[in-house]
Structure 1
Amino acid sequence: MDENKQKALALLCYITMRLIAIIILGYSIYMIVIEKVDELESRYSMIAFYSLLLLGASFVPSIIEHRWKIDIPEFMELLFVAFCIGSLFIGEIIGMYRMNTWWDGLMHTLSGSLIAIFSFSLLRMLNESADIGKRFTPGFVVFLVFCIAATVGVLWEIIEYSADCLTGSNMQRYLNDVTGQPFVGQDALRDTMLDFILNSVGAAVVCVIGYIDLRIKKVTLIRAPKRLQK
């Protein structure tokens, strides 16, 4: 697929993502304000919150491009859209996280890969713009990328823990979804540890591909963002 078709596809995905978010947000507000569905009000409030997140996320790539004067590769943007829809829309709003536990693992693996790809792209851009003697070695790039992806995974688990403490949610799956009883021992840690492991696996796969990419001096999966003219 040529670059123009990729740009058109990315734009279509963003428009679709925004329309989905606006429609669901409007429906949630209607149910809360007009219908006054008290027993499900908290559920619709959470759906409205995730819809706002989905809507806001759709503008993140364009904000980054405008702020730092770069052109993010369309392949990376499509991955970002897929992750947002899979995580916020399918996972949280539709409820796939509650219906199928493997969906959470899939999203954490994808998020680790996406963060690693984005980190590789930025480091490639820095390397290409630096003097030869000041460029990072492939091994150091891989190490740095993996550390960034792992750190973001840790920060996300902190966010989940904070949300559970403040709102009484079950983002870390420490409660049984059926009985509402808290898990005990390693069962209480299983979801968090699996998230860490799968996030690391996704990042590690990209690191291997990126290392090979850097060693053979060819642009394959991970292309650096283009600097835009001021």
Structure 2
Amino acid sequence: MVEPLDVGVLSLQVAIAGTLLEGVRRRDPAAVVNAAVSLGAAFLPLALGVGLSLEFGEVGPVLSLWIGVAGFLHCLGMLGLYESVPWWDHVTHTVSAALVAALVYAGVLVGARQSPHVPPGPLTVGGATVLSTLAIGVFWELVELVARDVGESLDVEPVLVHYGWRDTALDLGFDAVGALAVVLLDVRSFVPLAEAFPGATTALLAWTTGIVVVGSALMALVALLGG
């Protein structure tokens, strides 16, 4: 029996593939690259499950669906909706940040249970989730800024677009909205997955934190040096 979630996941994967073809038709490198990355991300849970023999269980379709929704919204934005629909970027950031926050929330909940030094209270877990999501949001904004600068220096169209500091502030504001929604609604969709791999979850959180902090510092330095 085909589950509705599976139908939704497949539909989104096909839709993202459609935006990839549309990007090719328009000869739009930025749209093509973003659609290709989004399509790869949409298949990531399936690829990890097959390649590493991981059992995602009921979490897998939910994760794939959420990734697919976020990716499809972004792909449509790259095809022109970011410019033509003023609020489209806000919706995309909220959905994407909520996905990141839900994954972080699950990791922090499980990590707090494993560590005697971290109180597993709602304020600690919620605060860590919101702050981590915002840190990842800052990292992403810096990636966009550096991508723009690299594109300009090479005289090629950047694969990501930075619209200015006002837009960055709005993006981070809606990132916070997505993270707060996850915390306040106590979204535990990915807790079973984190509980199944507690050691890997803790290590992934630590590595992600390090990459985000160090990467943000380096990109900020590059941006400052580049004017």
**Mapped partners of 2:45, 2:146: distance in 1:** 26
Q: Which residue of 1 aligns with 2:188?
A: 222
Alignment partner of 1:87 out of 43, 58, 74: 74
Give the match for residue 142 of structure 1: 126
The question of whether the paired residues in 1 share the 8 Å contact of 2:16 and 2:72 is answered with no
Provide closer, same or farther for how the CA distance between residues 46 and 208 of structure 1 changes in structure 2, counting only shifts above 3 A: same
User: Separation in 1 of the partners of 2:149 and 2:183?
Assistant: 34
Identity of aligned residues (%): 19
Q: 2:132, 2:48 → 1: CA distance?
A: 18
Give the superposed CA RMSD. 3.1
Q: What's the TM-score once normalised by structure 2's chain length?
A: 0.67
Deviation larger for 99-108 or 119-128: 119-128
By percentage of residues, which structure has more helix?
A: 2
| Partner AA of 1:222 in structure 2 | R
Residue number in structure 2 paired with 1:186: none
- Is the contact between residue 9 and residue 61 of structure 2 (CA under 8 Å) also seen in structure 1? no
Q: Does 1:115 align with 2:104?
A: no
Distance 1:14 1:122, change over 3 A: same
CA contact (8 A) 2:130 2:180 kept: yes
Q: 1:28 to 1:154 in 2, by over 3 A?
A: closer
- Deviation of the 1:64 alpha carbon: 5.0
2:88 to 93, 103, 114: 103
Q: Which residue of 2 aligns with 1:61?
A: 45
The letter of the residue matching 2:149 is: C
In 1, Cα distance between the equivalents of 2:88 and 2:106? Answer: 27
1:27–1:76 Cα change, 3 Å? closer
Distance 2:95 2:21 in 1: 29
Deviation, structure 1 residue 85 = 0.8
> What's the CA shift for 1:151?
1.0
TM-score normalised to structure 1 length? 0.66
* DSSP 3-state at the match of 1:17: helix
Q: Tell me the secondary structure at the aligned position of residue 59 of structure 1.
A: helix
Change (3 A) 1:100 1:125: same
CA distance in 1 between partners of 2:118 and 2:138 (Å) = 30
Equivalent pair of 1:76/1:117 in contact (CA under 8 Å): no
* Residue of structure 2 equivalent to 1:151: 135
The alignment covers a number of residue pairs equal to 185
Deviation at 1:141, TM superposition (A): 1.1
Deviation at 1:69, TM superposition (A): 3.7
Match of 1:118, as an amino acid? L
- Corresponding residue for residue 203 of structure 1: 179
**1:214 paired residue number:** none
Answer yes or no: is 1:17 the counterpart of 2:7.
no
